[in-house]
Structure 1
Amino acid sequence: MDWLIIAFAGLLGGMLNAVAGGGSFITLLALVFVGIPPLIANATGTAALLPGYLASAWRFRKDIEYPANLSLKHLCLIAVVGGCLGAAILLNTSEQLFAHLVPWLILLATGAFIAGPWLLRKRLSVATASTTVRPLSAVIILTLVCIYGGYFNGGLGIILLATLGLMGQTQLHGMNGLKNLLSALLTTIAVALYATGNLIDAQYLLLLAIMAIIGGYIGAVIAYRIPQSLLRGFIVCVGLAMAIGFFIR
């Protein structure tokens, strides 16, 4: 039964990431349900979903646009440094402390799912491509977001999209390209550090990753057949239920 739960979670998580994001909610819930401690479940789920980030980054590589006059080299450095710092903080977080933080992190990510699309639409409705932040401010903001991604990863995509929109970007494909690149880079670095700290549970990793890849392909096929509002509503409900569950746990 545990293996079936993990397989289904990988499939559903991959589908959600391809269509609307939020797949890490599902993988975290499933891994904790089958008995994996939250700290290790977070790292394992992130590692399993990494191939999807890499594939998405490659798919959108030609659409990437850079905010606040930052170069590709600067942005890659921000992602690597942020991912390293976030993963390092996770490695030095006790299981007890992380268990206390999980419901708050889930609420933060769920809030991003609720507010992110609204913020993005509001920014895209402004017919200007002017930069709203200085380069130094952009570096600080993106570094903080990447640190969050290296630490927890939940809701990272929508948080990055909202951040890029507030920085002045208006082309959604370009924003998606940069979001996927930053996510792939920081997650790759974070997963490498997770592995050095023995935070990845190898028992379920391969099955979870394979099913997530399959789910990603299925999600791409059905992306235009299921309303994103319905999927986002489902993710928000799952996030709120998980937060409540961890609070009373």
Structure 2
Amino acid sequence: MEHPFLIFFAGLLAGVMNSAAGGGSFVTLPVLVFAGVPSVIANASSTVALFPGSFAGAWAYRHDFVPFEGVSIRALWVASVLGGLAGALLLLFTPVTTFDRIFPWLLLFGTLAFTFGRQAGAALRRVVHIGPAVLLFGQFVLAIYGGYFGGAVGIMTLAVWSLFFNANINAMNAAKTLLVGSMNATAVVCFVIAGKVWWPQALVMMASAVVGGYFGAHYTRKLPQDKVRLGITLLTFLMTAAVFYRTYR
């Protein structure tokens, strides 16, 4: 395994970011690619490495769940699992050369969603309200994106849900964490069965992400959240610019 310290530090930073505001995959995925891991395998390995954090987050929020009016959490969970499966299979059947070309654009899309997703959701909420059927379809589409790439899928999920109902942020975060974790779990199973995970890199990154997540949750909550999000946003834009330069230079 080349660049073990770079991979370890990327996992550490991603764990801190995910515990603070999200966006950890914007670091782990580009770093794995820069370290020589083929892009499709890097995407799969990054998902596996960061999966324990999402599972732990879902468990931590287990007491904050509230039912959605007009649609059940179970129905949203089914849509998330099926969409995550579809997205993971789509990634597995994507040629590496094709993914190499679309990867920077996916990263840019995810970065913009992370940066402006909440504002866009708030603006749409003033003029748009969706019903249960549209919500379930939207959840399925989001889960396809989550299984295929997943950058900022949590932010996009909250933005879509805000068009359906109003609830406190803890309740939405609880359901979001569970459903994003479920779509990731489905993708992880597919990637492992398909043999698309480079385990030395994934395990090093997984261990450091757990450490970063623990200490990030302890220390970053003492910092102003607007400054934390600004720092993460700047970092994601820098990583996106670096990937574009590497791909199209």
Q: Give the TM-score taking structure 1 as reference length.
A: 0.91
Corresponding position of 2:86: 85
Return the alpha-carbon distance in structure 2 between the equivalents of residues 92 and 169 of structure 1: 38
Corresponding position of 1:101: 102
> Is the 1:138–1:167 contact (alpha carbons within 8 Å) kept by the matching residues of 2?
yes
Deviation at 1:160, TM superposition (A): 1.3
Return the alpha-carbon distance in structure 1 between the equivalents of residues 64 and 162 of structure 2: 15
Q: Which runs of 5 or more residues in structure 2 are unaligned?
A: none
SS in 1 for 2:63: helix
Corresponding position of 1:44: 45
SS in 2 for 1:132: coil
Return the alpha-carbon distance in structure 2 between the equivalents of residues 150 and 66 of structure 1: 25
1:71 aligns with 2:68: no
Return the alpha-carbon distance in structure 2 between the equivalents of residues 82 and 18 of structure 1: 25
1:110 aligns with 2:111: yes
Return the alpha-carbon distance in structure 2 between the equivalents of residues 66 and 119 of structure 1: 25
Return the alpha-carbon distance in structure 2 between the equivalents of residues 45 and 51 of structure 1: 11
Return the alpha-carbon distance in structure 2 between the equivalents of residues 143 and 17 of structure 1: 23
SS in 2 for 1:62: coil
Deviation at 1:122, TM superposition (A): 5.6
Corresponding position of 1:157: 154
Percent identity, please.
36
1:26 maps to a residue whose letter is V
SS in 2 for 1:158: helix
* RMSD (Å) for aligned C-alpha atoms: 1.9
Alignment counterpart, residue 174 of structure 1, candidates 171, 179, 183: 171
Return the alpha-carbon distance in structure 2 between the equivalents of residues 140 and 237 of structure 1: 32
Q: Give the TM-score taking structure 2 as reference length.
A: 0.91
1:165 maps to a residue whose letter is S
Corresponding position of 1:234: 231
Corresponding position of 1:187: 184
Return the alpha-carbon distance in structure 1 between the equivalents of residues 136 and 124 of structure 2: 20
Q: Which runs of 5 or more residues in structure 1 are unaligned?
A: none
Corresponding position of 2:21: 20
Deviation at 1:68, TM superposition (A): 5.1
Residues 218-233 of structure 1: pairs in structure 2 closer than 5 A:
218-233=215-230
Corresponding position of 1:136: 133
Return the alpha-carbon distance in structure 1 between the equivalents of residues 59 and 15 of structure 2: 17
Return the alpha-carbon distance in structure 2 between the equivalents of residues 169 and 191 of structure 1: 32
> Is the 2:122–2:159 contact (alpha carbons within 8 Å) kept by the matching residues of 1?
no
